[in-house]
Amino acid sequence: MKPGIFITGTDTEVGKTVVSAGLALALRDRGIKVGVMKPVATGCFGPDERLVSGDAAFLMEAGQNEYPALTSPQRFRNPLAPNVAAMLEKKEVNIPGILRSYRQLQKHYDFLIVEGIGGLMVPLKKDYYVANLIRDMGLPIVIVSHAGLGAINHTLLTVDAAVIRNMEVRGIIFNRVSVTNYSMAELTNPKVIHDLSGVPILGSLPEVEGLHMEGGQFGRLKEIFQERIQVDKITGSLAAIPRK
């Protein structure tokens, strides 16, 4: 199997897509043929027969994916948990179809970045969660969290859910961290979380000027990601591939 990583979060809207795109841009800069995947997306737009996920479209720009149907195989209009959106739209989350798409993408890329939806315990269908999908894909994970008040509880709960399911946690990335006028929580939480969980802190990202997901604009995301995130600890065996 080709190597890859699953980007999950402590909650929705914590920045999984930004982290996934930043990693894709950084790996492309190293000469790695990187693919991206957003297996399940809700809150999509467009005609019913051609729903579009904004997150998946942004990731495809970052990774230069050539297979949109495989990159974003399950799309729903309602901005709800996937199992609920599927029920309202009289559809079903097709897990075997997702795994087939994942295996097909692996044939075309050296490294695959898979972005989840919400956190580990978001239900995709009855008795099947994002955590189950990660296990079926056989991928290690990176956890994305905010760094402010509440981050300790949310992050430790996510780490605990991963550990009891025997997942490999490569590390934690904090997103939208203030670079000036930061709070005491932002200053102290990363160390507290590392001390309590033992999980490596891979770095933090500030708000990126010039980044506009709707317009497919990355601003300085690639440069900031390379400066502030320990990419080699995410990619493992790909760390030795030289930059172009």
What residues are labeled active site?
38
Which own/partner contact pairs does 160-168 have at CB distance under 8 Å and 24+ positions apart? 161/120, 161/121, 161/131, 162/120, 162/131, 165/131, 165/135, 167/131, 167/134, 167/135, 167/140, 167/141, 168/140, 168/141
The secondary element (H helix, E strand) that includes residue 24 is helix 16-29
Question: Could you tell me whether strands 141-145 and 4-9 are parallel, antiparallel, or unpaired per DSSP bridges?
Answer: parallel
Q: 130, 122 in Cβ contact below 8 A?
A: yes
